[in-house]
Amino acid sequence: MRRHFKTKVEAEKFIKLVNNKNVPRDALYADIKSRAGDIRLEMASRLFIEASKIGRDGEFPLERYTISGYEPQLRLHILLILARKYLGAITPLTIREFRDDMMKSGASRITTRNAIRLLSNIFSYMHLIGRMVSNPAAKVKVITASHRARAGAVSLDEIPTFEQMQRLFSELLTLKNAPDELGARWSRGVPLILLASLCGLRNSEIRGLPREAFDRVKLTIHVYQRCDRGGTVGLPKSAAGHRLVPVPKRVASMLDDLLASHDHGLVFCTKNGRPLSHSNINRDYWFPSLREAGIEERWGIHRLRHFYASLLFDEGLPLPTISRLLGHSNASFTLRTYIHLFERARSGDNLNRARRIIDDTLLTVGSAEN
């Protein structure tokens, strides 16, 4: 556990306490408990928010939109009831009673779960800086409907079918080959959508994609930055977001043409070189492409990543390879998310096979372009 002290004298005193083998463990816990007794949850939440803005324990700072989502949870739920509670007086029972009171007052299970998660994050940070012995919210559960549906696994109904994607690809290539301004506009929109569906890039990764990330010779994209909803370009949320993904030859050719049309640092950007917004992508490219393909349901663009995952699973690529290509933190998360795809998967092997799969998929619907 990492400890922070106001003075060097306090730090040295604690080190002597830890190194003294004659001091029982209970004495160390008593020291931490005494420090928990002089800080209220209201102050702890402020410390947590300020630390999140600059990065807790050496981590990357949280995005502005993530932090702004914490503030109403604190104001409307957590601090309304627990603000004056000292950390040393908060127990698992306290958190369970808080959870039950929230749901009795009409809060949804998802809202209650999010509040408990935020509390758990605050307590974890307080534990990290030596203000709490343990996290009293760690084992407090709120079961939601998604937990019942195999712990948030993506259902097969949420994954576009190959037939739907064939129609979509066909319409996209028709739009790209249209004359004059229509074709020029879609020369940017088409590769954007194909990067999501055939390379598995997230919307934020596409909007923050630098031109240097595309390697025309190796037919790869190095994902190492993203653009958040506020328009700030920065590093991926996690180390797993840094990855190398294969690019289909036809998509690579489209990227070549697009990059030749401007000299800005980002592949997809406005005329002034600024990142495209999430809403503009939906309005100008994604929703119109769905209409052109005759798909009535307004899918979120994130479903294209599900389609990409389905291609890889259906061809039997190893789970660790699929996890790396998707930028997941570990293979177990990939398995939990795509358990239904895993169950129908066949055998397969490596990254080169992934490139062949997505190449063949695009060529199947793109031959009319030549």
pLDDT at 27: 45
CB 186 within 8 A of CB 207: no
Mean pLDDT of the region 336-345: 81
CA distance 223 to 205: 7
Residue 34, in any domain of the structure: yes
Residue 41, in any domain of the structure: yes
CB 182 within 8 A of CB 350: no
223 and 289 both lie in a single domain: yes
121 and 230 both lie in a single domain: no
pLDDT band at residue 259 under the 50/70/90 scheme: very high
pTM: 0.68
Residue 3, in any domain of the structure: no
DSSP string, 253-267: HHHHHHHHT---SBS
CATH number at residue 189: 1.10.443.10
114 and 170 both lie in a single domain: no
48 and 176 both lie in a single domain: no
140 and 161 both lie in a single domain: no
CB 73 within 8 A of CB 107: no
State which of 148, 169, 189 marks the end of a domain. Answer: 148
Residue 266, in any domain of the structure: yes
- Cα-based distances in Å from 266 to 64, 193, 275: 22, 16, 7
129 and 165 both lie in a single domain: no
Which one has a higher pLDDT value, 178 or 285? 285
Give just the sign of the alpha carbon dihedral 10, 16, 22, 26: positive
pLDDT at 363: 56
CA dihedral 29, 32, 33, 37 (to 10 degrees): 170
pLDDT at 204: 94
pLDDT digits (tens, 9 = 90+) for 50-86: 999 888 877 778 888 888 889 899 999 999 999 999 9
CATH number at residue 58: 1.10.150.130
39 and 170 both lie in a single domain: no
212 and 357 both lie in a single domain: yes
**What range does the domain containing 99 cover?**
8-148
Domain tally, the chain? 2
CA distance 51 to 49: 5
Place of tokens 């003075």: 7
111 and 245 both lie in a single domain: no
pLDDT at 10: 62
pLDDT for 310 beyond 60: yes
pLDDT digits (tens, 9 = 90+) for 91-143: 999 999 999 999 999 999 989 999 999 999 999 998 888 888 889 999 999 98
CB burial of 261-300 (b: ≥16 within 10 Å; e: otherwise) equals eeebebbbbeeeeebbbbeebbebbbebbbebbebeeebe
Ramachandran region, residue 2 (left: φ > 0; alpha: ψ -120 to 50; beta: rest): beta
Q: Which of 198, 148, 151 is nearest to 172 (CA)?
A: 198
State which of 148, 179, 194 marks the end of a domain. Answer: 148
144 and 160 both lie in a single domain: no
124 and 167 both lie in a single domain: no
Which one has a higher pLDDT value, 329 or 31? 329
State which of 104, 120, 148 marks the end of a domain. Answer: 148
pLDDT at 33: 52
CB 190 within 8 A of CB 254: yes
pLDDT digits (tens, 9 = 90+) for 123-137: 999 888 888 888 999
Residue 162, in any domain of the structure: yes
88 and 189 both lie in a single domain: no
pLDDT for 364 beyond 80: no
pLDDT for 244 beyond 70: yes
Q: Which of 93, 107, 111, 89 is nearest to 37 (CA)?
A: 89
Mean pLDDT of the region 313-335: 90
pLDDT at 54: 86
Residue 1, in any domain of the structure: no
pLDDT digits (tens, 9 = 90+) for 146-194: 554 445 688 888 899 888 998 999 999 888 888 878 888 899 999 999 9
Residue 290, in any domain of the structure: yes
Residue 2, in any domain of the structure: no
